[in-house]
Amino acid sequence: MPKRRNRDAAFKARVALEALQGERTVADPATAYEVHPTLIRPWKTALLEGAAGILERGGRAAAIAEVAEDTVRDLHARIGELAIANDVLARKLTPWVGK
């Protein structure tokens, strides 16, 4: 039995977009990309549902900015903790290093 593959979002979007164009049947891109045709339907649905969010003004950008601020704040806190730990270890190791 073949191993399960995890496809990235760009691949799924490319296959779903090709299936949505309507020039070919769903089976054609499935054969071309070696994907089962039943996998393409949820990808098409997700692409159609997500398209509105991409085209909204500032909707996605605001959400990304909010996540980015939280992430930056957490990372800055972690950097501070690591800097303090580094200083403590440097002071404790000074007798063994000889500096």
15-54 tens-digit pLDDT? 888 888 877 788 888 888 888 889 888 988 888 888 777 7
pTM above 0.85, yes or no: no
For residue 11, the SS3 value is helix
Closest Cα partner for 21 from 47, 50, 54?
47
Residue 62 pLDDT > 70, yes or no?
A: no
Domain ranges of the chain: 1-55, 57-99
Q: Which CATH number applies to 1-55?
A: 1.10.10
Look up tokens 């891109």; give the residue. 29
Angle at 7 between CA 37 and CA 36, to 5 degrees: 15
